[in-house]
Amino acid sequence: MNAIWIDEQLETSARVQNSMKIEREDHKLEKRLCREVGRAIVDFNMIEEGDKVMVCVSGGKDSYAMLDILLKLQKRAPINFELVAVNLDQKQPGFPEHVLPEYLSKLGVPFHIENQDTYSIVTRVIPEGKTLCSLCSRLRRGILYRVAGELGCTKIALGHHRDDMLQTFFLNMFFAAKLKGMPPKLVSDDGKNIVIRPMAYVTEKDLTRWAQVQDFPIIPCTLCGSQENLQRKQVGNMLRDWQKQYPGRIENMFSALQNIVPSHLMDSKRHDFKGIRTTGVADPEGDKAFDAEEFMQAAPPGRAVIGINPLAPG
């Protein structure tokens, strides 16, 4: 009996310790998410005193997390601002229209559900088997801009994260022949709205974990999520493969988006190549035209990179 009792006590102790470890990790994750969102808000002056922020909530993990984090930051921020959650019900077949109103009511956050049957328009106009996202996005964008004006919102918050921003950069480079990304803050194409992306510094991995911790009532996107061969999915898979093979590559690429050197690209609209003249002054950062270029693999925090060839295929 004593041996059995001891085994039970050891198992109980192990469960308690494991539970405490998970709780500590969850707390660290929450702090990291709040810190990264707060840092983006400050770096790009996303939210100001008196703002009314329209938080676009789709029912996916990213927008749930964005609303959750913004609510946390709202309580401790040194400025006053309002949040209103907005969902566009596009009348997709089988869409559980009760989920978001129930969740948002439970949170106690002001919200608005906009009902517009864009699904019928998209499926009528786009041939079967073709990508629906482009038209769907344009319709959704116009509706949300209108709603923002009707609600008196000064900012529109979207739930795109760091991985989305990198994917957009490569999509533009591969398929649109542009070095163009997804900015953390911009004036909308109608010229009437400021759009912000508070989760610009947040990784998708952290958001996936936070969705599990918070047990968000995720609503799958059956309209576009079932289209497995989308270019964005292909680019996302490419980036994940790179990160597995060469840890730290994602961090380097994201840092590169914030470290642009127009003089070393080829856009004459951004740099006056025709007007270049010698100065006679040495520049330690200048281009050494006859030297072979060397690239150092930057290690992510806490990791030493050994034996990695950053120019290897992949």
Annotated binding site for [4Fe-4S] cluster: 133, 136, 224
Strand order in the sheet with 82-89: 111-115, 82-89, 52-56, 155-157, 194-196, 185-187
| C-alpha span between 86 and 84 (Å, rounded) | 6
Count of C-beta atoms within a 10 Å radius of residue 236 = 18
- Report the sign of the C-alpha dihedral through residues 238, 225, 257, 250, in that order: negative
Report yes or no: 196 and 48 within 8 Å, Cβ to Cβ: no
Binding site listing? 133, 136, 224
User: Where in 81-197 does DSSP place strands (E)?
Assistant: 82-89, 111-115, 155-157, 185-187, 194-196
| C-alpha span between 174 and 308 (Å, rounded) | 25
| C-alpha span between 182 and 162 (Å, rounded) | 9
Backbone torsions φ then ψ of 294, nearest 5 degrees: -120, 140
